[in-house]
């Protein structure tokens, strides 16, 4: 009986290790993961009216940041993203803030604290959109970076650090 338990335990450990290696590879090589079908056709209502169309940003380096008004780390990193946008816009970069939140809280938040970034109202559908881009947990904040070639270059679940944001500008065009 002990030999059988040992074989089963070893097989389970090997399977878990292989899965871990696969997940690590996937996280470290996001450019190997294709964008979801219809990605560039995605459109989001803007809080001030009108639409935010991802197609308008195709062919340029792009940062998509998923955030919510009730998420403290999301709010904390917004000035970092605004500064990145301001400094890198002349090089063609764009940063889009996709709010995974209701329209009313987003509009109230923006009245008190306007953003110097285009904001799209992704709502609860934003969770699924983020999952399709690699956010399996559906957590916030979540950020993806696309190169001008439209390929996924980086993704991050959790609060951004200044060094990470600076690295985008140095490594991705």
Render each residue's pLDDT in the chain as its tens digit; 173 residues.
565 554 454 444 434 433 343 344 334 455 567 899 999 999 999 999 999 999 999 999 999 999 999 999 999 999 999 999 999 999 999 999 999 999 999 999 999 999 999 999 999 999 999 999 999 999 999 999 999 999 999 999 999 999 999 999 888 76
CB 156, CB 64: distance < 8 Å: no
pLDDT at 32: 64
Give the 3-state secondary structure of residue 37.
coil
Residue 67 phi/psi, 5° resolution? -145, 175
User: Quick one: DSSP state of residue 52?
Assistant: E
Q: What is the tens place of the pLDDT at every residue in 72-99? A: 999 999 999 999 999 999 999 999 999 9
User: Quick one: DSSP state of residue 61?
Assistant: -
d(C-alpha 114, C-alpha 99), whole Å: 14
Instruction: Copy the structure tokens of residue 141.
Output: 């904040």
CB 110, CB 84: distance < 8 Å: no
Q: What is the tens place of the pLDDT at every residue in 95-122? A: 999 999 999 999 999 999 999 999 999 9
Q: How far is CA 145 from the centre of its chain?
A: 7
């Amino acid at each position: 009986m002990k030999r059988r338990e040992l074989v089963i335990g070893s097989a389970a450990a090997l399977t878990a290790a292989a899965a871990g290696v696969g997940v690590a590879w996937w996280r470290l090589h996001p450019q190997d993961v294709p964008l979801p079908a219809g990605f560039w056709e995605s459109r989001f209502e803007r809080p001030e009216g009108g639409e935010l169309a991802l197609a308008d940003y195709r062919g340029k380096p792009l940062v998509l940041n998923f955030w919510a008004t009730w998420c403290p780390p999301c709010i904390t990193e917004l000035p970092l993203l605004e500064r990145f946008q301001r400094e890198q816009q002349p090089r063609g970069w764009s940063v889009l803030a996709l709010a995974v939140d209701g329209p009313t809280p987003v509009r109230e938040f923006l009245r008190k604290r306007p953003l110097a970034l285009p904001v799209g109202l992704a709502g609860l559908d934003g969770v699924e959109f983020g999952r399709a881009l690699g956010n399996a947990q559906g957590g916030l904040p979540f950020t993806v970076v696309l190169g001008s070639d439209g390929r996924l270059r980086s993704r991050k679940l959790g609060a951004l650090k200044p060094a990470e944001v600076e690295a985008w500008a140095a490594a991705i065009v």
